[in-house]
């Protein structure tokens, strides 16, 4: 688990906020980031960069322009032409990637200090996110493992669908608390449960 101080510290304590009878429609939890790296390949070196990513992480890069792939503790997300966001449980990943992907192949940027990840799950997860997300979240149009960059409550967010009712939301740390306030308010209509950080 990351030893960084969370921008949500003190706000993500476990609790249940009920809305009428029945179970909470949404479960919220912060998912601490150990390592998050952006890799941008130059146009003529994409294949070499993809080979380097696969060799180092043992995870094949996604082949869809807005897809993602995972293996063990590594997730690779396609966030633009020749651009990938790699999350890993290896704290040394930025240095390792920088060593194999030199300036002649692309650019490697450590974003672990700049992002926060919140997981939203539950039968009402899609409904709650649709309140502020300008994306068609129909499962046919935004299937599991799909990735999209958008805005919620004027906060930039990278959305990755895990399953039909589960999403990871990557937001800038400086806006994490504002985003969390919007999310809990949006979820209050369905009722929500906050699980401990790192439990997802």
pLDDT in tens, 41-60: 999 999 999 999 999 999 99
Q: What is the CATH number of the domain that holds 62?
A: 3.30.70.1520
Asked whether residue 1 is assigned to any structural domain, the reply reads no
- Output the pLDDT for position 18: 83
Q: What is the pLDDT of residues 148-192, one digit of tens each?
A: 999 998 899 999 999 999 999 999 999 999 999 999 999 999 999
Q: What is the CATH number of the domain that holds 146?
A: 3.30.1360.120
Asked whether residue 159 is assigned to any structural domain, the reply reads yes
Count of domains for the chain: 2
Spell out the residues 6+ positions from residue 125 whose beta carbon is closer than 8 angstroms to its own: 25, 26, 165, 166, 167
Range of the domain at 28: 15-32+113-194
* Burial bucket for residue 87 (CB in 10 Å: 0-12, 13-18, 19+): buried
Mean pLDDT value across the chain = 94
Final residue before a domain boundary, out of 110, 132, 149: 110
Q: Is the confidence at residue 1, as pLDDT, over 60?
A: no
In this prediction the pTM is 0.93
Residue from 40, 1, 32 nearest 173 by CA: 32
64: confidence class by pLDDT, cuts 50, 70, 90 = confident
17, 28, 60, 124 from 25: Cα distances, Å: 10, 10, 34, 5
Q: Mean pLDDT over residues 109-117, rounded?
A: 95
Q: Does 122 share its domain with 187?
A: yes
- Output the pLDDT for position 184: 96
Is the Cβ–Cβ distance between 85 and 77 less than 8 Å? yes
Final residue before a domain boundary, out of 110, 135, 151: 110
Asked whether residue 200 is assigned to any structural domain, the reply reads no
């Amino acid at each position: 688990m990351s030893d960084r101080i969370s921008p949500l510290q003190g706000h993500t304590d476990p609790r249940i906020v009920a809305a009428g009878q029945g179970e909470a429609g949404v479960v919220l939890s912060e998912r601490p980031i150990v390592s998050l790296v952006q890799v941008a390949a130059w146009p003529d070196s994409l294949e070499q960069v993809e080979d380097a990513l696969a060799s180092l992480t043992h995870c094949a890069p996604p082949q869809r322009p807005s897809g993602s792939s995972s293996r063990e503790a590594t997730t690779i997300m396609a966030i633009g032409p020749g651009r990938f966001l790699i999350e890993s449980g290896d704290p040394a990943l930025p240095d390792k990637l920088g060593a194999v992907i030199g300036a002649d192949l692309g650019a490697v940027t450590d974003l672990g200090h700049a992002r926060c990840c919140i997981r939203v799950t539950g039968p009402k997860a899609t409904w709650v996110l649709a309140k502020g997300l300008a994306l068609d979240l129909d499962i046919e149009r935004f299937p599991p493992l799909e990735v999209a960059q958008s805005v919620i409550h004027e906060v930039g967010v990278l959305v990755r669908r895990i399953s039909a009712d589960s999403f990871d939301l990557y937001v800038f740390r400086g806006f994490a608390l504002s985003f969390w306030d919007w999310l809990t308010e949006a979820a209050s209509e369905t009722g929500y449960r906050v699980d401990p950080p790192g439990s997802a």
